[in-house]
Amino acid sequence: MTTRTAVITGANSGLGLECARALLASDETWHVVLAVRDPARGAAAVADLAAPQRCTALPLELASLRSARSFSGRLRDARLPPLHAVVCNAGLQVPDGTRLTEDGVEMTFGVNHLGHFALMQGLVAQLTRPARVVVVSSGTHDPKKITGMPHPNYSSAEVLAHPPADADEAPDGRRRYTTSKLCNLLFAYELDRRLGQGDDGITVTSFDPGLMPGSGLARDYSPLQKFAWRYVFPALRVLPNVNSARVSGNRLAALAHDPAFDGVSGAYYEGTKAIRSSVESYDQNKARDLWETSERLVDRVTA
């Protein structure tokens, strides 16, 4: 019998699907909600997990603030066991050009951060203590790490949401991605502070899954880049913090359920190890700017 619910965004494939699989295997009391953009792929994921009585796929379009804010109502209407965990996992990378969400926000920032911000605004009130929120970030947010990715560039959340057009410089989609991963940490730490840093029964942790060759993150890459991501990069798994989606999914699920993490809040994990994130990720002025701008952007659309 299921007695508690976990919501996982982007759970129809890759890291999110493997997190769901591990969570279902950990304890029969969990009911897992796959919050997915494509209902058909969500149904296929439920079938893949082979636990149809313990899985529900619900629509969530993180590129739509109305969809993200209204998800809490869809979850309530599903009449599932009390909500005890949320895993903010979904993400994308737009390598070239500028794409916008339906709300006119730059797509990488809009999906990787702002959609999850709007989602959590609705879900916090439904969390039943003890509860856990886990935010998936990336080691690429940290300039001190050698990742092959450009360093993040956080000037203001308003600029990230509505980048100025610059005819002399093509947009750097990879830098937008690493900056969004910095935003994930700024958001997680600020959410933790606003929820009492675990004292009120809700803990917030962050997670770096490492490099996961073959994952869906490369879906917008060029054909040659996709080939390398799928068939060449997996050979790098012998290196530190290069993992399969299954391994990282197990570790991510542990942050949502394992008693070893009871009461742990405000921490950042690289795999199974708690580490310090980048210096910039602890900047409370930037966290406040991100939070207040995000509130304004969401309220403008959903009021």
- 206: which strand partners? 135, 268
Decide if 233 contacts 213 (C-beta within 8 A). Answer: yes
Q: Where are the beta strands (DSSP E) in the chain?
A: 4-9, 30-36, 55-59, 83-88, 127-136, 202-208, 267-270, 273-275
- Tokens linked to 175: 């830098």
In angstroms, the Cα distances linking 147 to 47, 144, 210 are 35, 9, 10
For residue 20, how many C-alpha atoms fall within 13 Å in the half-sphere facing its CB? 33
Q: Which of 161, 151, 69 minimizes the C-alpha distance to 110? A: 161
The DSSP string of 215-244 is: SGGGTTS-HHHHHIIIIIGGGGGGSTTB--
- Rounded Cα–Cα distance for residues 197 and 266 (Å): 7
**Residues 177, 189, 268, 269: which is the catalytic one?**
177
Main-chain dihedrals φ then ψ at residue 168, nearest 5 degrees? -90, -5
Catalytic residue list contains 269: no
Report the 10 Å Cβ neighbour count for 163.
Answer: 15
- Rounded Cα–Cα distance for residues 112 and 269 (Å): 18
Please name the amino acid found at residue 16.
G
- Tokens linked to 66: 């109305």
Report the 10 Å Cβ neighbour count for 36.
Answer: 27
Q: What is the DSSP code (8-state) at residue 96?
A: S
- Active-site residues, by number, are 177
